Structure 1
């Protein structure tokens, strides 16, 4: 039974044995769980996929005379200013406001966050609530990453532990958060990278907890809390992996240290902006059970095929499909061969795990003990009480 302190000591001496989760799976297939558990200290996982429930906290610094901002736009994208005079929250999925007479830009909070991380200038336009201590009414300027105070990502929901496969059984194209879904089962889109995805390899969150240090956007981040829509009570297979959306995590990290390679604004046609984000989670090898969980293969994981043509919260499904089938490029739905495509970049997900491995091997990234566990008894509550106006 290894301890975090022992593993960190080996990391500091640059003698820790680190494998990416794909390397680990191959090694287990070759020599077995017991031998791998004795030899390996850390397993690195990674994903690069859209995570629209993300955003940035920004402190602009006070003006002279000072302003109490109550409306604000960054490159035309509204930022929320309702919790401090010059504090802002910029949501990744917030869209640029349309200007009359101008063509609507496919631009949103994710793009502004990417630009700031890349050191590019961003235009600020603000309106204030005039008070005795904040007499200024308006403010316009240009900011960069280096001319603002705090700039950190605080993401309420990242790292979905599994997700759905979207299809369209209707007769017209649909534009969704999974991208375009073609009519009459013309395509199928899945977003989770499967067996290399971080939380798939720690299905009961025995290792990952509040305070876990992670790779976030090319910098160092931390698990801050359970994520919104956290649903660990999802039905699970005997290998403990969920059959659909389950656990989620809230993440945070200093955006000034991040790399635009791993934080990219994106736009879904007729849906809106989002953020492609690279996240890597290290899994310390304490015992054989951890290795056995990480040895899970795509053929052992499933996701539900959901029909988006039915505009309801609970949509009908065409059953479950394995990630091995999804990654083959074709699945069979009611006798029809349907093309599949991932929203996550499998290539870049692998690169996240590889870069995190390199950090650990170089001794620049050590592991942390969680200060608390993520709750595993949360139910998912819908809004069934509503009034139609």
Structure 2
């Protein structure tokens, strides 16, 4: 192929002549067809704790000087930085990992978008107690930002100890003695996996964040050359609640975020990167108790020939008095078994491991040699949702083709 420029690709997009493929499509087509691609759309959806929201909250009940403490639906929020003295406004920051019992910030963000009432409790500098309900549509400012999202790829986890552990890496207590495996990362369709040198992803790159247009602002905390991640900012008012939410782990609630990122194919090196398959991408299997590698596997073993979503066999449901699926679903997507709320479902597959007669999904398993012993470890819970990641990559492709999403060139390169 010849070297392309941003200007050339943007001209082709504007004229309706560009070839846009999803990351999945370009891996499945011929080499000749792949060489015609101008842009490849990538996607990921997963548990991304490095997320926070910034909001302006109007208060109607009484005049106050400034807020000194604040909670939203019981979740601790941080008022500031502007005092907004006597303006009846509170500027607030809510961390993605903040929670009130089993209710987390990711759940709050989704409830806001679905226009559920938000109960505001605040105390002003002059001692006034504020308690009222606010709706998201009345908040004049709402942005979602990240301190680290969209790692190039992640890890798999298992528990080698002789006792179960509570952890953010499982929705239930993690069983002992290598009984189960969990993992994160959407493999070959992950954004940075398709541009590992960050040649096209930089400061100012336009992306979809939970379906809303946003911009990359840099690399995030714990970003390394081997495992880079990104920070971004997007208008929460434009987001799609189906792409976000909260995920309950045995250590408490976490936050879910979805990304769609365009990769313009400027040269042969980028074309080669976007053609990499799941089985070519290695990830470590970690001892969850110490976060140290005990073996290495690949994403082909986790995403090839598995079920991306769960099938329901309603006729087999026995309507147990205490339904373990209802009590264990990390998204509260099964509130009345056997019905699944597909808008909330994360496709983690946990329900199929708890009640396989009613909820069926092939999550796969891996064969690994650990200390000279061959073990087959079944996947019990996925903390990335490849089905929705594919969906956001298709949505981004459609927006590029119908010209409602404009490709941007980074204003500054990022260090991988």
Does TM-score exceed 0.5, indicating one fold? yes
User: C-alpha distance in 2, partners of 1:327/1:372?
Assistant: 34
State whether residues 91 and 110 of structure 1, in contact with CA within 8 Å, keep that contact through their aligned partners in structure 2.
Answer: no
Higher mean C-alpha deviation, range 65-74 or range 357-366:
65-74
Uncovered stretches (5+) of structure 1, i.e. residues with no partner:
97-104, 131-135, 235-245, 377-389
| 2:376 corresponds to which of 334, 337, 341 | 337
1:174 matches 2:214? no
Given candidates 302, 327, 343, the residue that maps to 1:326 is 302
Q: Alignment partner for residue 276 of structure 2, among 273, 286, 296?
A: 296
CA apart distance, 1:266: 2.1
Q: CA–CA distance in 1 between the matches of 2:132 and 2:52?
A: 21
Contact 2:104/2:255 (<8 A) preserved: no
How many residue pairs end up in the alignment? 341
Matched, 1:163 2:165: no
When residues 67 and 142 of structure 1 are mapped into structure 2, their CA distance, relative to the original with a 3 A threshold, is: farther
For residue 300 of structure 1, report the CA deviation from its aligned partner: 0.8
Would you identify which runs of 4 or more consecutive aligned residues in structure 1 move more than 3 Å? Answer: 61-64
TM superposition shift of 1:82: 4.3
Alignment partner, residue 129 of structure 1: 125
The one of 31, 39, 43 equivalent to 1:42 is 39
Aligned to 1:229: 222
Equivalence for 1:59? 56
From 139, 158, 169, the counterpart of 1:148: 139
Q: What SS class does the counterpart of residue 279 from structure 2 fall into?
A: helix
Give the distance between the partners of 1:260 and 1:368, measured in 2 at CA: 25
Q: Is residue 159–residue 179 contact of structure 2 (8 Å, CA) maintained in 1?
A: yes
Distance in 1 (alpha carbons) for counterparts of 2:292 and 2:193 = 24
Q: CA deviation at 1:322?
A: 1.1
Q: Paired residue for 1:198, among 191, 197, 209?
A: 191
- Measure how far apart 1:252 and its partner are: 0.8
Residue 217, structure 1, aligned to residue 252, structure 2: no
Task: Give the alignment partner of residue 281 of structure 1, picking from 245, 257, 261.
Answer: 261
Q: How does 1:249-288 map to 2 (within 5 A)?
A: 249-269=230-250, 271-288=251-268
2:231 alignment partner, SS class: strand
Tell me: higher relative CO, structure 1 or 2? Use CA pairs within 8 A at least 6 residues apart. 1
C-alpha separation in 2, matches of 1:36 and 1:266:
37
| Structure 2 gap ranges (5+) | 84-89, 305-363
Q: CA deviation at 1:48?
A: 1.2
Normalization by structure 1: what TM-score? 0.84
